[in-house]
Structure 1
Amino acid sequence: MAKSISLAEYRVKFAGQTLVLTNLSAMYMPDSKSLVLADIHIGKATHFQKHGIAIPNTVLKNDLNKLETLIHYFNPQKIIVVGDMFHAENNLEIQQFKDWKLQFSAIQFILIKGNHDHYYHSIYKDLNVEVIQNELIAEGITFVHNLEDFKGEGFSISGHLHPGVLVKAKARQRIRLPCFAVGNEHLIMPAFSEFTGLNTRLDSNSFRFLAFTESDFFEF
């Protein structure tokens, strides 16, 4: 049975436009009809399984179901992946992604290469994914995988850091939640895949953290 998905929105002003953040770890840019996400890490689960680590086979399926929900909801013209679309060697998950992607042939997929995107050009071409080597400048924003690699001025959107927040609950319990880290000029995307860790050590003086659950947003 497919996992039930509930979509919540949180709108922010950034770089002179309204961005629609979602609790599905992606963001929609209405002005350019672009869906933006980062760190899908396709192939990671299979890579770990090959090394004897028991990772569920449902990871990629859940991630693609989530992405499919976003596509049907926003009807984007293009999908911008801000790095680490893939994870390791060419494995079975790449073919699964290729088969799934066939239903969205009208959508342009753009990848700004991340530190894990090491495939040969022929593989990206076969998947019909446009690859940008370092950064993409569009809509007055620089899209780059790692904020540390952004050497220019102005607005940037990046991934790589997998931002999260640590929330203190009752009885000394602590809950980690993924978040968007939003600053005056820089926005860091949460990791899209469910099979990633969370970095809860980002500078709170530079960013406000828009954390989310399966149904809502919370600002920290």
Structure 2
Amino acid sequence: MSVHETELSGERVQLLPHKALYWPRERLLAVADIHFGKAAAFRAHGVPVPHGTTQENLAALDAALAAVDVAHLIFLGDFLHAQAAHAATDALLAWRARHAGLRVTVVRGNHDRHAGDPAAQLALDIVDEPYHVAPFAFCHHPDFPAGTGHVIAGHIHPVYRLSDGRDALRLPCFAAGVQRTVLPAFGAFTGGHAMRLAGGDRVFVVAGDAVFSVGKITSGT
């Protein structure tokens, strides 16, 4: 596994190929947009999508937690996709029991407001955005105004298009600016969107078990 170390607002952080951000000083791991129960919500509306995404997401979480020393896990919104996601509570309870000593905070996102808070038995701290751990403001939406702190957010599910002129790939990416950093979607069934980048944003692409920089954006795109 290859991580990418960078500096945000004077703090050293690591961008993990698990599509997560790790802050070593606080032993804090942040993930965005896991969307538990999204596939179940689609199936509830008659859309034939695969089973097993909840277990896939939990396995990915376990892998990220095993890769670094974590005391505090923060979900940056859209923890649950819809009300149908509450059907995954038993699997989440089993996962939580394996990590009973871990502090877990969920920042509410737009999907969480429709789905409702997770079960109290999960022992999660449920908060509204912005959630401050200076110098950072952990949010779901990335568009908080200046003065909030350096915003670390999700919501957009950013991907970056790499092209050699003949072939192209759309890969999950981190987008780091002066005032905000947007994380890729962590969930296994989330898709991605090419986000509009600002001049000066740095882009870090997730490719397999590595994260690498594709440089700094010279103008808005």
TM-score (norm: length of structure 1): 0.89
1:107 matches 2:102: yes
1:85 matches 2:79: yes
Partner SS state of residue 42, structure 1: coil
In the other structure, the counterpart of 1:179 is 173
After superposing the two structures, state which structure 1 stretch, 108-117 or 202-211, moved more.
202-211
Aligned partner (choices 173, 180, 199) of residue 205 of structure 1: 199
The answer to whether the 8 Å contact 2:144/2:151 transfers is: no
Aligned partner (choices 134, 138, 142) of residue 133 of structure 2: 138
In the other structure, the counterpart of 1:14 is 8
Measured in 1, the distance between the counterparts of 2:3 and 2:87 equals: 33
Task: Write the letter of the residue equivalent to 2:8.
Answer: F
Measured in 2, the distance between the counterparts of 1:8 and 1:36 equals: 18
Task: Write the letter of the residue equivalent to 2:141.
Answer: N
Partner SS state of residue 92, structure 2: helix
The answer to whether the 8 Å contact 1:79/1:109 transfers is: yes
Q: CA deviation at 1:206?
A: 4.4
Measured in 1, the distance between the counterparts of 2:38 and 2:49 equals: 9
Q: CA deviation at 1:116?
A: 0.7
After superposing the two structures, state which structure 1 stretch, 205-214 or 38-47, moved more.
205-214
Pairwise mapping of residues 1-220 of structure 1 onto structure 2 (< 5 A)? 7-89=1-83, 90-118=85-113, 119-121=115-117, 123-150=118-145, 152-169=147-164, 172-220=166-214
Q: 1:151 to 1:39 in 2, by over 3 A?
A: same
Measured in 2, the distance between the counterparts of 1:120 and 1:41 equals: 13
Q: Deviations over 1:18-68 (max 9, x none)?
A: 101111111111111111111000011111111122222122212111110
Measured in 1, the distance between the counterparts of 2:116 and 2:18 equals: 30
Task: Write the letter of the residue equivalent to 1:55.
Answer: V
Q: CA deviation at 1:156?
A: 1.1
Measured in 2, the distance between the counterparts of 1:91 and 1:169 equals: 43
Measured in 2, the distance between the counterparts of 1:143 and 1:115 equals: 15
The answer to whether the 8 Å contact 1:163/1:180 transfers is: yes
Identity %: 26
Task: Write the letter of the residue equivalent to 1:130.
Answer: D
Task: Write the letter of the residue equivalent to 1:196.
Answer: T
After superposing the two structures, state which structure 1 stretch, 104-113 or 44-53, moved more.
44-53
Q: CA deviation at 1:150?
A: 4.2
- Structure 2: any 5+ residue segments left out of the alignment? 215-221
Task: Write the letter of the residue equivalent to 1:11.
Answer: E
TM-score (norm: length of structure 2): 0.89
Measured in 2, the distance between the counterparts of 1:8 and 1:52 equals: 40
